[in-house]
Structure 1
């Protein structure tokens, strides 16, 4: 895992080397001096760019940051409240809403696993409806995150 200094250097170097990037900002808990630092804090950054399409149409530029365990982009959330509830039963909707609540590491991990379970259930049913053979690679992703969870759990006694 990179140190905070290494991450800040990487974020700034990417901005300096790419002429499409005009400004980079850091948001979130890392900007709040009252929030204690910990090993799990993410880097909420925004790049202000001259050509948005060149970034969104080819995400390979993100590989500079290294292997991603997960990624959330602003556009992921645009359709969430507007449409998804119409396609879920009430119990699953409640589970999904609860993934946005959490102030402990344990609750965040539970939210991740709940999301993976919901994704698998709904994507499998869509695959059946469309007569599509559903790939089982998402099970490998779940196993990968469980492995990391168990490692963190033993390292940090969550």
Structure 2
């Protein structure tokens, strides 16, 4: 696999030779001072070009970077990653190097556009001269307001009863979707974020999909969270569900208490009583 030095050197040589490339900016983990980089870390490069049609037509412009293993999206298009006229090309090359390109024909960049870090790889028109120094605060956990907190904790309990409902019916696909997708990623992860933010004076970020939770949670909480992951066994999923509701309750109560927000104790108790009655029901 090519090294970072090789990848960026090859890219800059190519970009200098192509008149339609006006500027290129490296972003994300490879420009953050405290980021942990390994051989699987991708290169996030944003291209400012004079002619976007070259990139919309096909991927022939990628040939100098090596043979492609797989790409996304399959055809060049906008994916909504950034507002405005951008197209996305995420490329995994056969040697394992991955480069994520976001490409635009915009010729102006807001001064704070790269507040979470950047490195200018090439700039032929001084498009980047107004960029401010990054504060690396774009993804810092924000303290929730009262309405945001109350909405989230109440919606968790609305969605919670779907898990025992479909476990009882032996419909594991629906139950797993509710447990591992809706409850976990829409609600539990948000509460964990707020708890970590509270514990760290709202000055840290936990990464995409909670990838840094283990770095911030106390070992006993992390051990409990691990118990919420299980396979397809119905009984094991009942236990994972109970463990997930326990963690949610514990952290949500603590966050609410510290911020002066009311946790819905009655809703929690009544929903859990109903869920447990489903578990013991013989039909």
Measured against the shorter chain, the TM-score band is: 0.3 to 0.5
**TM-score of the aligned structures, taking structure 1 as reference length:** 0.48
The structure with the largest alpha-carbon Rg is 2
